[in-house]
Amino acid sequence: MILVKTQFIGMMKAMGSVNWQIRKIFLYQAFFIIGKGMIWGNAIGIGICFLQAKFGILSLNPEVYYLDKVPIDITWWHVLLLNIVTLIICLVAMIGPSALISRVNPTKAIKFQ
């Protein structure tokens, strides 16, 4: 995303933006993309768990496992903790690539096509 937007970065720097301001733009975009993915992932994952808990979609061989269906127990604070840790790890992983913004030369970036 950062490499594709080099002209945008060059224009922002030419208009006087500081590197941190431009980095925040990309981190906010990453936050919303990650958040959207987490919402869809949670909806699908929790939906499948709910269907398994209510209807027993995934069945087991009772002679081998001593159970007739896969048991599901959702602990909501585990789900919340997993989401928070995932969001933090993804945002920390985005800090490194956003450091490339400080290396962009405004005159070269505006000429670059």
| Model pLDDT for residues 19-73, shown as the tens digit of each residue | 889 888 888 988 899 999 999 999 999 999 999 999 989 898 998 888 899 999 9
Cα–Cα distance measured from residue 42 to residue 61, given in angstroms and rounded to the nearest whole number:
29
How far apart (Å, rounded) are the C-alpha atoms in residues 91 and 10? 23
Residues, the chain, total? 113
- pTM recorded for the entire structure: 0.76
Bridge partners (DSSP) listed for residue 17: none
Domain ranges of the chain: 6-97
HSE-CB of 97 using CA atoms within 13 angstroms: 13
